[in-house]
Structure 1
Amino acid sequence: MSLTVRTISTEEHLGHLALYPAAGPLQTPAWGRVKQGWEAESVGWFDAAGVQRDAALVLYRQAPGTRRSLAYVPEGPAVDWFLPHLVEGRLRPLLAHARARGAFAVRMGPPVAVRHWEAATVEAALADPAAGRARSLGEVPADWTDPRALALTERLRALGWRPVDDGVGQPSFVVRVGLAGREVQELRAGLGPYWKRGVEASEASGVRVGWGNESDLGDFHALYARDAARGRFAPRPVQYFRRMWDALNADGADGLRLYLAEYDGEAVAAALMTLSGATVRHAYSGPAVRHRELRPSCALHWRMLCDAHAMGADSYELGGVSDGLEEGAAGLARLRFKVGSGGRVEERLGEWEFPLGRVLHKALDAYLARR
């Protein structure tokens, strides 16, 4: 089937997403309003009869000193990646459209799971004190692998796409708790010892978790910024989160929620949760600085997980983790904490790029490295 790509309206884009519940918030038209400094475009794939088959959000960022742009499709396109001839039928028209728009490269992040490790498998690997402990998850046999994803990887390479792992895009490893067909009691029983004790300690000590509103974003950002200083990463400004709130909650939508854990009238932990499609996602955290012995972060995530279950979500995603397992590895504490939710670690296909102009592409690589 020969398809062409053209700009579509917000309504056409949303109509496709209604039929594709696997799409995340980064593929919604609203996300384009969050990303300041990027030009957003909703595009659709159309057959010869003019019938729309798919849709995607494309973000364009102009290279410094030029009129050319990087075209970025975050966590997308929102298509069925295992359809026959999809790579040729969907990606080639997308490249042609981006080239016509003046793009020198297209970057995308197919939301395709390659393999996963159950929580028990990861915890066993982390608990092994022997000198021969696996250095990364890749050295631990996976509990599930999708051969179709492996074949897709080879097909992308054969067509000239290259994998990108520069730390700029979306994470390749995420922790996901499956919710479909499970009772809350089963979810609680699946928590790791740290989480179980943490939820119990928070409940016994009087920590209360509830929804915040836009006026509470300042409290969230103060906790988030302290965590950034402790973790030595550059925090996003509070204005970024205000744009998220305005864009994802526009016109009465419930696309972004703020959760606050409070103790004795003080916000001691906070987190943002995005709601889009069948998966609810933890987006950003403001972990506890004071009263950490009360484990408010455990209570916070437990409430978010229960709310996701109550709204009928298929899964609750706790966000990205690193795959290093050695003591002292960056992100090891975060991995331990998130796996304590009982969720599996899922490895995705990662982000890929196709260069349309090699000189400018190298210049952008250097620019992103400086940032």
Structure 2
Amino acid sequence: MNTLTIKECTDMTVKTPAQHFLQSRFWAEFKKEQGWSYQQYEVHAAGTRSFLLTVLLRQLSPFGFLAYIPMGPSILTDYNSQLPETAEKRKLFLVNLAEKLVPLLPTYVFLIRFDPPWECVIRSGNTQAFSRQDFPLIPCTGGRTPCSLRKAASDIQPPDTVLLDLGQPLDALLAQCKPKWRYNIRLAEKKGVQVRCFPGSQAEDVIPIFYRLYRETAARDGIAIHSENYYHSLCRLAVDPAFDTERILISIYIAYFEEKPLAAIITLFSPSGAVYLYGASSNEHRNLMPAYLLQWQAIQDAQKYGCPSYDFYGIPPTDDSHHPMYGLYRFKTGFGGTIIHRVGTLDIPVRGFRYRLYSCAEQLRAFWFKNLKKKLRVHSRKS
């Protein structure tokens, strides 16, 4: 594992398929439109396969550059997470990888942040004492830049999710759903809810419909959302012929009742899997259960597209009725599938002082959005 070589990949025609859409060139170009830049590297590690690594870069004044690697590196995924030596091997690999990356990145990189696709063990089912597999500090050795590995204060990508295996018959997938979920799917159909799919080039045309529902959802649930242009950019870029080899399909599904949009979702299909990216719903006719029929239609289409799995992309870590997102947990787990727990976001500070300053700013921002801003919204609605 110590023999690791990295070289920058300048050939944009490289056909190596991404193991996750967040490591695809499509996603990197999409983030570029949102103010990021990116570099891609060919990584060769002794004793394992070579892989392509996409590193997203964001200049954050006055700290410097943040290097972010979502759902990478795409190796060491099949190790037994129950074994202590698995965490040790993964930690040492990340430290080694970071040391090799530093000389290739912009001069003022202050942090390399990983979101690996590695599953982990949950130590406690009680959310009051919830903790993931430990990733204690490890000093880098042999490199010119001192750094250490630590768990980030908060996660960027959702570390907990539900994954449906689509390599089984459709009736088996339906049988996996909880009885109430099957009932709700049939109820929506019986009551006349119709689901329409707008794939590829058609998706951008219905962004205004999706976004109206999304704003309604955000106001109801007190969540922050991107601008409408963000979703236009996502749909527009997905049909660019430059990314044809990655076979990424963005679709918008809208549930209608008497020609009135009730709910909508945005999905991403690729050879590595299907992902439920965004969901929105109206406050009206919620008793018609449109969200259940939307998901069921998307699951069927993902299977037809050849996706090996359907990722609901984010749930609370445990079945805790007191969790503010408990409703989301119940909804997504009700379709069956396997609950996955990943290690979450891991940081390797490159410039310690700048990293500490940034961490303080990041925690203050998180506190503002997760606590104060939400309380202010609730107060304004009551008054």
Distance apart, 1:355 and its partner CA: 0.4
2:252 aligned residue (240, 258, 275)? 258
Deviates more, 1:103-112 or 1:359-368: 359-368
Q: Which residue of 2 aligns with 1:143?
A: none
Distance apart, 1:90 and its partner CA: 3.7
Asked whether the equivalents of residues 45 and 55 of structure 1 are also in contact (C-alpha less than 8 Å), the reply is yes
Give the 5 Å matches for 1:235-314. Answer: 235-251=225-241, 254-314=248-308
Distance apart, 1:91 and its partner CA: 4.0
Asked whether the equivalents of residues 98 and 348 of structure 2 are also in contact (C-alpha less than 8 Å), the reply is no
Deviates more, 1:264-273 or 1:57-66: 57-66
1:105 aligned residue (81, 105, 111)? 111
Q: Which residue of 2 aligns with 1:92?
A: 99
The superposition leaves residues 182-225 of structure 1 with CA deviations (integer Å, 9 ceiling, x where unpaired) of 11001111111331111011111111112122110111111112
Deviates more, 1:154-163 or 1:190-199: 154-163
Query: What is the rounded CA distance, in whole Å, between the counterparts of 1:279 and 1:233 in structure 2?
Result: 27
Query: What is the rounded CA distance, in whole Å, between the counterparts of 1:276 and 1:303 in structure 2?
Result: 17
SS at 1:114's partner residue? coil
Q: Which amino acid is the alignment partner of residue 79 of structure 1?
A: I
Q: Which residue of 2 aligns with 1:70?
A: 66
Distance apart, 1:261 and its partner CA: 1.0
Q: Which residue of 2 aligns with 1:56?
A: 53
1:219 partnered with 2:209 = yes
Asked whether the equivalents of residues 308 and 316 of structure 1 are also in contact (C-alpha less than 8 Å), the reply is yes
Q: Which amino acid is the alignment partner of residue 163 of structure 1?
A: K
Asked whether the equivalents of residues 137 and 325 of structure 1 are also in contact (C-alpha less than 8 Å), the reply is no
2:363 aligned residue (343, 357, 369)? 369
Query: What is the rounded CA distance, in whole Å, between the counterparts of 1:257 and 1:156 in structure 2?
Result: 42
Asked whether the equivalents of residues 207 and 263 of structure 1 are also in contact (C-alpha less than 8 Å), the reply is yes
TM-score normalised to the size of structure 1? 0.81
The superposition leaves residues 84-142 of structure 1 with CA deviations (integer Å, 9 ceiling, x where unpaired) of 874465443224433x54311100111112259xxxxxxxxxxxxxxxx96439879xx
Identity between Structure 1 and Structure 2 (%): 22
Query: What is the rounded CA distance, in whole Å, between the counterparts of 2:230 and 2:12 in structure 1?
Result: 22
Q: Which residue of 1 aligns with 2:175?
A: 189
Which structure 2 residue ranges, 5 or more long, are not aligned?
A: 80-88, 141-147, 366-383
Q: Which amino acid is the alignment partner of residue 93 of structure 1?
A: K
Which structure 1 residue ranges, 5 or more long, are not aligned?
A: 117-132, 141-148
Query: What is the rounded CA distance, in whole Å, between the counterparts of 1:156 and 1:82 in structure 2?
Result: 24
Query: What is the rounded CA distance, in whole Å, between the counterparts of 1:65 and 1:364 in structure 2?
Result: 9
Name the count of aligned residue pairs: 332
Query: What is the rounded CA distance, in whole Å, between the counterparts of 1:107 and 1:289 in structure 2?
Result: 38
Query: What is the rounded CA distance, in whole Å, between the counterparts of 1:287 and 1:239 in structure 2?
Result: 19
Query: What is the rounded CA distance, in whole Å, between the counterparts of 1:186 and 1:2 in structure 2?
Result: 44
SS at 2:161's partner residue? strand
Q: Which residue of 2 aligns with 1:146?
A: none
SS at 1:10's partner residue? coil
Asked whether the equivalents of residues 115 and 345 of structure 2 are also in contact (C-alpha less than 8 Å), the reply is yes
Give the 5 Å matches for 1:81-160. Answer: 81=77, 86-87=93-94, 90-98=97-105, 101-115=107-121, 135-136=126-127, 157=138, 160=148
1:45 partnered with 2:32 = no
The superposition leaves residues 57-81 of structure 1 with CA deviations (integer Å, 9 ceiling, x where unpaired) of 1111112235x20100111133345
TM-score normalised to the size of structure 2? 0.78
Asked whether the equivalents of residues 160 and 342 of structure 2 are also in contact (C-alpha less than 8 Å), the reply is yes
Query: What is the rounded CA distance, in whole Å, between the counterparts of 2:336 and 2:162 in structure 1?
Result: 9
Q: Which amino acid is the alignment partner of residue 211 of structure 1?
A: C
Distance apart, 1:155 and its partner CA: 8.5
Q: Which residue of 2 aligns with 1:32?
A: 28
SS at 2:52's partner residue? strand
Deviates more, 1:275-284 or 1:317-326: 317-326
Distance apart, 1:338 and its partner CA: 0.5
Asked whether the equivalents of residues 116 and 345 of structure 2 are also in contact (C-alpha less than 8 Å), the reply is yes
SS at 2:120's partner residue? strand
RMSD of aligned alpha carbons? 2.9
Asked whether the equivalents of residues 55 and 79 of structure 1 are also in contact (C-alpha less than 8 Å), the reply is no
Q: Which residue of 1 aligns with 2:16?
A: 16
Asked whether the equivalents of residues 98 and 112 of structure 2 are also in contact (C-alpha less than 8 Å), the reply is no
Q: 1:259 to 1:138 in 2, by over 3 A?
A: farther
Q: 1:192 to 1:2 in 2, by over 3 A?
A: closer
SS at 2:336's partner residue? coil
Asked whether the equivalents of residues 162 and 353 of structure 1 are also in contact (C-alpha less than 8 Å), the reply is yes
Distance apart, 1:364 and its partner CA: 1.9
Asked whether the equivalents of residues 43 and 56 of structure 1 are also in contact (C-alpha less than 8 Å), the reply is yes
Q: Which amino acid is the alignment partner of residue 204 of structure 1?
A: K
Q: Which residue of 2 aligns with 1:179?
A: 166
Query: What is the rounded CA distance, in whole Å, between the counterparts of 2:348 and 2:95 in structure 1?
Result: 13
SS at 2:116's partner residue? coil
Query: What is the rounded CA distance, in whole Å, between the counterparts of 1:348 and 1:97 in structure 2?
Result: 28
Q: Which residue of 2 aligns with 1:208?
A: 194
Distance apart, 1:171 and its partner CA: 1.0
